[in-house]
Each structure stands twice: as C-alpha cells, then as structure tokens.
Amino acid sequence: MTADKTHTPRKTTRRQFITEASRGVCGTGLLGLGLAGYSKQSQSLAAQCLRPPGALTEEDFLAACVRCGLCVEACPYDTLKLGKIFEPVTTGTPYFDANVIPCEMCEDIPCQTACPTGAISPELESINDAKMGLAVLIDRETCLNTQGLRCDICHRVCPLIDEAITLEIERNSRTGHHAMFIPTVHSDKCTGCGKCEHACPLEEAAIKVLPREIAKGELGHHYRWGWIEKDKAGGSLIDEVLDLPDRLPGTK
Amino acid sequence: MKASVGAEAIATKGWLGAHKYLLLRRVSQLGILALFLIGPLFGVWVLKGNLSSSVLLDTVPMTDPFMLMQSIAAGHIPEITAVLGALIVAVFYFMVGGRFFCSWVCPVNVITDLAHWLRRKLKVRASTKLSRKTRFWVLAMSLVLPVVLGTMAWELINPVSLFHRGVIFGMGLGWIVLVGIFLFDLLLVEHGWCGHVCPLGAFYNLVGRYSPIKVSAYQREKCDKCMDCFTVCTEPHVLKMPLFGENKGYSPMIESADCTNCARCIDVCSQDVFKITTRLPIKAEVKQ
C-alpha cells in the first residue's frame, strides 16, 4: 500500500523480509528451473521447420522475435505459421514447412518489412540471397532421375533454375548405355524456398529442404585445396614430382 | 463472501447502471480482439499483429514493452520500430493507469473473472495463501532467465500472449494452459493469476505507479459497509484505507498501483461512493 509516507507505514522487520524474500526466490527459482529446462528443449527447431527469409541465426532469432505474427499476416501465400505450445517450434515464433506451403520468394519481402524488431533482418537486400535452408537430394534411391527417368520437376520449379539446382549427367551403370540427369543443389545459390520439396512427385519427397546447419558440412579450417593454392601461387607449390622407386609384389 | 453482489445497486441504479463499467470492459476486451481478428478473417486491417506487437492502421507501431524488455534481456538490440512502439504503449498505459491493461485489454481477464464469478456461485471458500508480491518475483525471473539462457523463456508459456496469439493465429494445445489458469483461480487461489502471479500485471503495476487517472472513494462517508466492492475487487486490499482510513488521514483516492481501474466498485455501489477521477494538480487547484 502506498499511502502517504507520513501515515504510519507498515514496517517490515528484517526477519519478515528475509522470510518473504527467500520464499519468493525459492518459489520462482523452482518455476524458473523448470522453464529453463523446457526452453532448452524447445530451442532445437525441428528439421522440417524453416524460418522466414532473412531470419537471424536460430539463437539470435529466439532472442529477437516478439511472436507478434506480423510477418505471418504480411505473407500473401499463407506460407508462414506461428508455432503453438508443445509443438516442435518455439512457442509463437514464425516458421514454414516447405512440404505444406513453400516460400514464393516475393521480391519485396513483405515478411521482412513487417518485422518490427529485426528478427527478420533488414540486412537481406535481395530475396535471391535468402538462406532459409538448403535443399538436399536426400534419397538417391527413390529419386526418379536416379532411376534414369527425366522427371526433372525439382529442377524446373526452382526459382533459380540452373543456378541453385543443375542437372549433372552421370553414366547409367544399370543399362550401361544411358545417362542419368542427377538434380544437384548448389549451396551458394539455394535459398531454401522449398519449391523443389513441395513439387517432388514421390509419396515422400526425395529432395528436402533442411536447416543449413544440418545440411552443410564444414571443412577443417586448416584444409587447403591444392589446385586453388596452385592457382593463387601461380605455379606448383612443390618443386618437382618425387620419383619414388616402384616396389611391386614379389620383387625386392 | 457473498454469492450475489450488487443487489442494492441494481435496485437503485437498474441492471444496466449496476453493470455499466463491466459491460464497457467486455466491449473493450472483445472489441480489441475483434479489431485484430477482422483483418485475417475479412481483410479489414485496423490492427495487424497481436498484443505482443502490432500496427494500427498501417502506421502506428505498438509493442508490448515487457516483451521488448525480455528480448533486450536475451541480448537482442531491437529495430527502432519496436522501441518506438514500446514507448507509445508504455506512455498510453501510464496515462490511463497502468493496470488498466489488465482489466480493459487483457483477454485472460475474461477467464479469471469467470473463475471468480463461478467461485462465488459455487461458494468455493478455500484459498491457498500466496503472497501478492509473488508476481514481482515472477517478473524478476522472466527478465533474468533471458539473460542466462539467451531466449525469452517466459514467453514459452506466457498465457496472456499465448491466449491473444492463439485466438488470431491458432491455439493448438494452448487451451490447456488457459484451463490451468481457470482451475487455479477457481480452486486454488482466489484471484490467483491476475492478483498474485502474472508478471505482466506486475509490470503494468510499475508503469502505473504515478498514473494520473485513479478511482476515488470520494463520498466514503456515504458507505454503508455492504462490502460488495470488496467482493468484486480483484485487489480488495486497495479499497481498505481509501474507504475506512479517513480518521487515520488516508486520502479517499485509491493510490495503490495494484488497482486495475476496472471500476467494478463503482458499478456495485448503491451509494455512489466511488468515481473515476484524476490526481493532476490542476484539478486540486480548481477545487480550492
């Protein structure tokens, strides 16, 4: 009660204060501990859930997003959804499942414009530079093109056709005299819009968009590609090819 | 605790007169929800977003300052739109009385009011003791957790944002949390959620500490001690001194920031003891 200071304010004794404070700390501490555990669990975004274009890294995104849904309402294709409690997406944060509705890659990026906090970073200038995820031809055993057919659907629906997905010719070893046109994703171009996954005609898509941190490998930082280093140096880095003596089996 | 309240008020002022502010509050609460909903439902965009952050008529940004504080605590530096929006909201609620949010805007209030109404009807007396200061501890927790975890942990379960977001964007299993609050208020603690636990209420309590708009028991000498106002009030302790503390020198103004300015006390009083007033110095000078 905040009556005027002059009127007999109720005094809290030290004992009362300590009792009350420790009660508060213990009670909310327990609640907080439970909440912390739950939040740790819910921070791992399910692999089929993708963030809107320009979204910060998952960790920063969870700190920045205020779960207002303005991006969802700005999305003209109903691609984006807000995560609900107990779903494998942090409660209230926007995501999309490419298999349901992929990102149509609007040139004006309305979801980005709508975001009030910068969780969808304003630094993304062109939708073609978006990195929502990375398409991966995850099952070469069922992909129709790997059977020698010319399905090519993922290639043809790709908004960055022949850049993000190319068809690479391989020899069809089953027939011995045909070619296979293998859909091949290039991670520097793929935006992760998910149109390929959405369009894949299989019962379960053979090409899937995954979060980039799942889809991408990372080279050891000390690795160097010899041919690139050779170009950089303008010549071979080794003086001459070492000619070691041949030792064939049975010889001494 | 009485099962029915305001019988005298209904007799003197009529049913409508004795429910004026209650009806206005329901219109306000549901009206705000409706303004958010007609966008996605009918394409009429008055308010976009939800209570966490929104845009009024495509121009005025509004952001829940408590939400933004959690975001900042989690280590994010927000864009100017969100900061401006939070300022607009904070200034608005300061002007109209802090916890005005709780009784006139927050959708959870409808649930907890229903729980309390049922509590009266079913004559549920038992109430577990819980300090009304608990909410400040929860408020502190919800601002400390993001610092430690780097994520807005409270927002995983925050029923206020969850309810409002759920109505507009889909509830999923969120109703479990809301039923939980309803049962908590009905069976465990009287006025449990809004009056004891909710950190958003605690936050707006702090925002409205020096708000100019207050309810005053300006005709307290007419009070016939029917106690109806104590029965309906979510924070009954705020009424005690303004009503009965005259000889101790207490002002009739309900100064406690716990008061939500719901004005239900005005409704149920047959003696017209209360009114909404301001505590701006200008007013005082005019009186003299």
Least confident of A39-43, B174-178, B240-244: A39-43
pLDDT at A134: 92
Q: Are B108 and B194 a contacting pair, CB within 8 Å?
A: yes
pLDDT at B284: 47
**Which amino acid does the sequence have at B64?**
D
CA-based max dimension of chain B:
58
Residues of B in contact with A87 (CB under 8 A): 172
Q: Is the pLDDT higher at A171 or at B157?
A: A171
User: If you measure CA to CA, which chain B residue comes closest to A81?
Assistant: B169
| Residues 86-125, chain B, touching A (beta carbon < 8 A) | none
Residue A40 sits at φ, ψ, to 5 deg, of -60, -45
Number of neighbouring beta carbons within 10 Å of residue B208: 26
Residues of B in contact with A29 (CB under 8 A): 141
In this predicted model, what pLDDT tens digit does every residue of B5-42 receive, in sequence order? Answer: 777 777 788 888 788 888 999 999 999 989 888 888 88
ipTM: 0.77
Cβ of residue A4 closer than 8 Å to a chain B Cβ: yes
Q: Are B279 and B253 a contacting pair, CB within 8 Å?
A: yes
* A117 with B71: Cβ contact below 8 A: yes
* A64 with B156: Cβ contact below 8 A: no
Query: Which residues are bridge partners to A127 per DSSP?
Result: none
User: If you measure CA to CA, which chain B residue comes closest to A6?
Assistant: B249
Least confident of B1-5, B55-59, B170-174, B245-249: B1-5
Number of neighbouring beta carbons within 10 Å of residue B24: 15
Give the C-alpha separation, B210 to B205, whole Å: 10
| B169 → closest Cβ in A82, A90, A114 | A82
Q: Which two tokens stand for residue A228?
A: 């690139």
| B169 → closest Cβ in A2, A32, A72 | A72
Using the predicted structure, report yes or no on whether residue B286 has a pLDDT greater than 80.
no
What is the nearest CA distance from A208 to chain B, expressed in angstroms? 26
Strands laid side by side in the A49-50 sheet: A49-50, A94-97, A81-82
Cβ of residue A43 closer than 8 Å to a chain B Cβ: yes
What is the nearest CA distance from A241 to chain B, expressed in angstroms? 54
* B148 with A4: Cβ contact below 8 A: no
| Residues 176-235, chain B, touching A (beta carbon < 8 A) | 176-177, 209
pLDDT interval class at B244 (50, 70, 90): confident
Q: Are B255 and B99 a contacting pair, CB within 8 Å?
A: no
Taking residues B59-84, report their average pLDDT: 87
| Residues 102-121, chain A, touching B (beta carbon < 8 A) | 114-119
Using the predicted structure, report yes or no on whether residue A221 has a pLDDT greater than 80.
yes
pLDDT interval class at B165 (50, 70, 90): confident
Q: Which two tokens stand for residue A177?
A: 């005299």
What is the nearest CA distance from A11 to chain B, expressed in angstroms? 16
pLDDT at B128: 77
Q: How far is CA A174 from CA A139, A143, A177, in A?
A: 18, 15, 8
Give the C-alpha separation, B20 to B30, whole Å: 15
Using the predicted structure, report yes or no on whether residue B104 has a pLDDT greater than 50.
yes
Give the C-alpha separation, B83 to B69, whole Å: 10
Percent with pLDDT over 90 in chain B: 7
- Using the structure block, give the residue that is written with the tokens 């759920």: B166
A221 contacts: CB under 8 Å, gap ≥ 6: none
* A73 with B82: Cβ contact below 8 A: no
| A63 → closest Cβ in B54, B71, B251 | B71
Least confident of A101-110, B36-45, B132-141, B276-285: B276-285
Taking residues A230-238, report their average pLDDT: 83
SS3 state of residue A99: coil
In this predicted model, what pLDDT tens digit does every residue of B211-235 receive, in sequence order? Answer: 888 888 888 888 888 888 888 888 8
Closest Cα to residue B190, out of B143, B237, B157? B237
Cβ of residue B149 closer than 8 Å to a chain A Cβ: yes
Taking residues A194-213, report their average pLDDT: 91
Cβ of residue A158 closer than 8 Å to a chain B Cβ: no
In this predicted model, what pLDDT tens digit does every residue of A138-151 receive, in sequence order? Answer: 998 899 998 888 89
SS3 state of residue B112: helix
Residues of A in contact with B209 (CB under 8 A): 2
Closest Cα to residue A56, out of A98, A112, A135, A97? A112
Closest Cα to residue B200, out of B139, B132, B154? B139
pLDDT interval class at A165 (50, 70, 90): very high
Using the predicted structure, report yes or no on whether residue A58 has a pLDDT greater than 80.
yes
Using the predicted structure, report yes or no on whether residue B282 has a pLDDT greater than 60.
no
* B249 with A7: Cβ contact below 8 A: yes
Q: Is the pLDDT higher at A250 or at A132?
A: A132
Least confident of A44-48, A161-165, B38-42, B205-209: A44-48
Using the predicted structure, report yes or no on whether residue A43 has a pLDDT greater than 80.
no
What is the nearest CA distance from A65 to chain B, expressed in angstroms? 7
- Using the structure block, give the residue that is written with the tokens 């980039």: A212
Supply the angle between the helices B175-183 and B159-169 in degrees, to the nearest 10. Answer: 140
Give the C-alpha separation, B272 to A251, whole Å: 116
User: If you measure CA to CA, which chain B residue comes closest to A1?
Assistant: B256
- pTM, 2 dp: 0.76
Taking residues A3-12, report their average pLDDT: 54
Number of neighbouring beta carbons within 10 Å of residue A212: 16
Least confident of A20-34, B88-102, B129-143, B191-205: A20-34
Task: Report the mean per-residue pLDDT for chain B.
Answer: 83
| A64 → closest Cβ in B71, B256, B257 | B71
